[in-house]
C-alpha cells in the first residue's frame, strides 16, 4: 500500500484487513463468554443446594424446552439465509429472512415467558430458593440477550422496508448474525447444563 493510499483510504485501511466493527463484536463476544461463564458457574455451584422446594426435577419440562430450543436453532438458520440474501442484494428475501429470524426469536421468548409464569404459578419465585434465584438469573440474562437481538433484527427489518438496507450494509447484517449465533450457542450450553443434566 502506498503512502498516499494509506493516508486517503483512512477508515477503509486496517492493519489486518478485518473490519473494525466485526473485530469489536468478536472481542465483545469474548467478554460475554466470561459473563455467561461466571453465571453458569454460579448456577452449577448452587445445583442441588436448595434447602426448600420446588426443586428443578419437579418443574423442568424438557419436551417443551426442546421445542423452543429447536425454534431458536432454526432462527440461526434464518439468520444465515438473511445474510446470504443481503449479500447478493436480494432484499425481498433479505427482508423475509430477517423478519423470520426475529419472529422465531420472539417465539423462543414467548416460550420463556410461559415457562417463567408456569414456575411462578407452581410456587417458584425469584427468592424462593437458590434454584429459583440462579435459574431465573441465568436464563433471564440469556433471555435479555435474545430480546436485544430481536430489537436489533427488527431495526434492520424496518431499515430494509424503507429501502435503507442493501448489499452495501452486508457487514452490519453479518455482525448482527455473529451476535445472534453467539446467543444461540450459549443457549445450547444452558439447555444441556440446566435441562438435560437435571436427572
Partner 1 sequence: MAATETAARPASGTGTREGTYAGGLVSWLTTVDHKRIGIMYAVFAFSFFLLGGLEALLIRLQLGSPENTLIDPDLYNQLFTMHGTTMVFLAIMPLSAAFFNFMVPLQIGARDVAFPRLNAFSLWVFVLGALFLNASFLFGGAPDAGWFGYANLTSTQYSPGMRIDFWVLGLQILGVSSIAAALNFIVTIINLRAPGMSLMRMPLFTWMTFVTSFLLILAFPAITVGLVLLMFDRTFGTSFFNPAAGGDVLLWQHLFWIFGHPEVYILLLPSLGIISEVIPTFSRKPLFGYPFVVYSGILIAFLGFGVWAHHMFAVGLGPIANTVFSATTMLIAIPTGVKIFNWIATMWGGSLRFKTPLYFAVGFIAMFIIGGLSGIMHSSAASDLQQTDSYFVVAHIHYVLFGGVMFALFSGIYYWFPKITGKMLSEGIGKLHFWLMLLAFNLTFFPQHLLGLHGMPRRTFTYQEGLGFEAMNLMSTVGSLVLGFSILIFLWNVVVSLRKGAKAGPDPWGGATLEWAIASPPPHYNFRRLPRVHSRDPLWAEGGLDVAVNDPEAPEPHMPSPSLWPFILAVGIIVAATGGLTHSVPLALAGAAVVVASTYGWAFQPLER
Per-residue binding string, partner 1, 112-131, x by CB under 8 A, is --------------xx-xx-
> What is the smallest separation between the CB atom of 63 and partner 1, expressed in angstroms?
29
69-95 in b/e form (b: 16+ CB < 10 A) is bebbbbbbebbebbbebbeeeebeebb
Positive or negative: CA dihedral 156, 161, 164, 169: positive
- The span from the CA of 135 to the CA of 116, in Å, is 10
- The span from the CA of 194 to the CA of 198, in Å, is 6
Does residue 106 contact residue 41 with C-beta atoms inside 8 Å?
no
> What is the smallest separation between the CB atom of 146 and partner 1, expressed in angstroms?
16
> What is the smallest separation between the CB atom of 159 and partner 1, expressed in angstroms?
9
Pick the binder of partner 1 from 12, 15, 121, 162 (CB under 8 A): 15
Residue 89 contacts partner 1 per CB under 8 A: no
Q: Which is nearer to partner 1, 7 or 77 (CB)?
A: 7
Piece of 31-39, 77-85, 91-99, 191-199 that binds partner 1 (CB under 8 A): 31-39
Q: Which is nearer to partner 1, 50 or 139 (CB)?
A: 50
Residue 137 contacts partner 1 per CB under 8 A: yes
Q: Which is nearer to partner 1, 133 or 183 (CB)?
A: 133
CA distances from 78 to 146, 172, 186, 192 (A): 15, 16, 18, 23
- The span from the CA of 192 to the CA of 127, in Å, is 24
The half-sphere exposure of 83 on its side-chain side, counting CA atoms within 13 A, is 16
> What is the smallest separation between the CB atom of 64 and partner 1, expressed in angstroms?
25
Residue 63 contacts partner 1 per CB under 8 A: no
Residue 77 contacts partner 1 per CB under 8 A: no
Does residue 13 contact residue 1 with C-beta atoms inside 8 Å?
yes
Chain positions contacting partner 1, by CB under 8 A: 1, 3-4, 6-8, 10, 14-16, 18, 20, 23-24, 27-28, 30-32, 34-35, 37-39, 42, 45-46, 49-51, 126-127, 129-130, 132-134, 137, 155
Amino acid at each position: 500500500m502506498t503512502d498516499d493510499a494509506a493516508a486517503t483510504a483512512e477508515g477503509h485501511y486496517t492493519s489486518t484487513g478485518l473490519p473494525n466493527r466485526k473485530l469489536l463484536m468478536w472481542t465483545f463476544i469474548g467478554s460475554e463468554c466470561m459473563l455467561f461463564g461466571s453465571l453458569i458457574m454460579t448456577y452449577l455451584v448452587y445445583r442441588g443446594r436448595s434447602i426448600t422446594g420446588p426443586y428443578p426435577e419437579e418443574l423442568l419440562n424438557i419436551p417443551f424446552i426442546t421445542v423452543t430450543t429447536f425454534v431458536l436453532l432454526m432462527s440461526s438458520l434464518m439468520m444465515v439465509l438473511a445474510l446470504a440474501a443481503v449479500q447478493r442484494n436480494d432484499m425481498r428475501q433479505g427482508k423475509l429472512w430477517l423478519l423470520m429470524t426475529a419472529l422465531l426469536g420472539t417465539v423462543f421468548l414467548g416460550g420463556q415467558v410461559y415457562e417463567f409464569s408456569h414456575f411462578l404459578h407452581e410456587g417458584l419465585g425469584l427468592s424462593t430458593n437458590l434454584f429459583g434465584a440462579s435459574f431465573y438469573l441465568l436464563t433471564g440474562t440469556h433471555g435479555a440477550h435474545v430480546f436485544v437481538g430481536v430489537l436489533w433484527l427488527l431495526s434492520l427489518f424496518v431499515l430494509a422496508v424503507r429501502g435503507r438496507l442493501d448489499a452495501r450494509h452486508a457487514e452490519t447484517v453479518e455482525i448482527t448474525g455473529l451476535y445472534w449465533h453467539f446467543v444461540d450457542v450459549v443457549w445450547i450450553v444452558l439447555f444441556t447444563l440446566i435441562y438435560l443434566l437435571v436427572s
